[in-house]
């Protein structure tokens, strides 16, 4: 069963497309400006990358006279974050805190819990 975000993953898999997105993060750019930022690629090659980004919904393009202005649409990236990162965020932060506490105990430093109890006592 294909996923709605498959095109986004495909678009993000290519380093050149990620570079274009990094450029667009700074603000909208004309197609010519994007082509100039990637001198090792042909105009046609860059335009194919922009097409993939547009089809995935990561780039929106509007016409201004004879120029096409491309801008970043971060909504699909947010959807990936909400689906794949957010559910695991709390799990991993708790795991990392436990590891930190274990290391601090081994080094003889007070653990996070001990510091919190000490802070509570000092506030009273």
Query: Along the 124 residues of the chain, how does pLDDT read in single tens digits?
Result: 357 889 999 999 999 999 999 999 999 999 999 999 999 999 999 999 999 999 999 999 999 999 999 999 999 999 988 888 777 777 777 777 778 777 777 777 666 677 777 777 777 6
Identify whether residues 69 and 98 lie together within a single domain: no
Residues 6 or more apart whose CB falls under 8 angstroms from that of 72 comprise 21, 24, 25, 58, 59, 60
* Residue 5 and residue 80 in contact, taking contact as beta carbons nearer than 8 Å: yes
Distance CA 32, CA 55 (A): 19
52 within a domain of the structure (yes/no): yes
Cα–Cα distances in angstroms (integers) from residue 49 to residues 14, 38, 52, 86, in the given order: 9, 11, 5, 29
Residues 6 or more apart whose CB falls under 8 angstroms from that of 93 comprise none
Distance CA 70, CA 63 (A): 9
* Residue 1 and residue 49 in contact, taking contact as beta carbons nearer than 8 Å: no
Query: What residue numbers bound the domain in which 19 lies?
Result: 6-73
Identify whether residues 13 and 45 lie together within a single domain: yes
Identify whether residues 94 and 58 lie together within a single domain: no
Identify whether residues 67 and 92 lie together within a single domain: no
Identify whether residues 93 and 63 lie together within a single domain: no
Enumerate the H helices of 58-111 as residue ranges.
Answer: 75-80, 86-106
Beta pairing partners, 60: 71
Q: What is the pTM of this model?
A: 0.69
């Amino acid at each position: 069963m294909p996923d709605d975000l498959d095109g986004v993953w495909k678009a993000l898999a290519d380093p050149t497309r990620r570079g274009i997105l990094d450029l667009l993060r700074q603000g909208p750019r004309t197609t010519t400006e994007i082509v100039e930022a990637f001198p090792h690629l042909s105009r046609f090659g860059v335009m194919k990358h922009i097409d993939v980004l547009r089809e995935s919904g990561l780039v929106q393009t509007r016409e201004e006279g004879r120029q096409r202005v491309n801008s970043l649409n971060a909504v699909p990236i947010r959807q990936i974050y909400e689906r794949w990162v957010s559910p695991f965020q709390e799990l991993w932060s708790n795991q990392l805190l436990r590891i930190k506490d274990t290391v601090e105990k081994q080094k003889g430093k007070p653990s996070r819990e001990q510091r919190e109890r000490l802070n509570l006592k000092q506030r009273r």
